[in-house]
Amino acid sequence: MSNAFETFDGGLGISNLGILFKIYGKEKKSKKSRENYENFLKKNYPKEYVDFLDFKTKVEKKTPNIKEIIFDWMDGKRELPNFELFDVYND
């Protein structure tokens, strides 16, 4: 299965939150893995990728340590992050 299909949100389109988690997960593995996934998105889903970058910027501005929070969750060091941390459209 393609990397992109794993980030689609119920047929509604690419999920920005899904992409964020996937990019952080790939970055946790290696910088090259993250770059490959980002290049895949840029090439195959350019509009969605631009929308994602806007979302990512807003999330990281709202919660500067969000990457650390997600990494800790991936490592089992904390519970699933509160999804209000990712609600950047109602601020």
The boundaries of the domain holding residue 37 are 4-86
Residue 91 lies in a domain: no
- 14-71 pLDDT, tens per residue? 689 889 999 999 999 999 999 999 999 999 999 989 999 999 999 999 988 999 999 9
Residue 41 lies in a domain: yes
The tokens describing 48, both together, are 């969605």
Up-side HSE of residue 86: CA atoms within 13 Å toward CB?
16
Residue 11 lies in a domain: yes
* Spatial contact of 20 and 63, defined as CB atoms under 8 Å apart: no
Q: Compute CA 32 distance to the chain's CA centroid, rounded to the nearest angstrom.
A: 16
Residue 34 lies in a domain: yes
Residue 21 lies in a domain: yes
Does the pLDDT of residue 90 top 90, yes or no?
no
Write down the pTM of the prediction: 0.76
Number of domains in the chain: 1
Residue 26 lies in a domain: yes
Residue 18 lies in a domain: yes
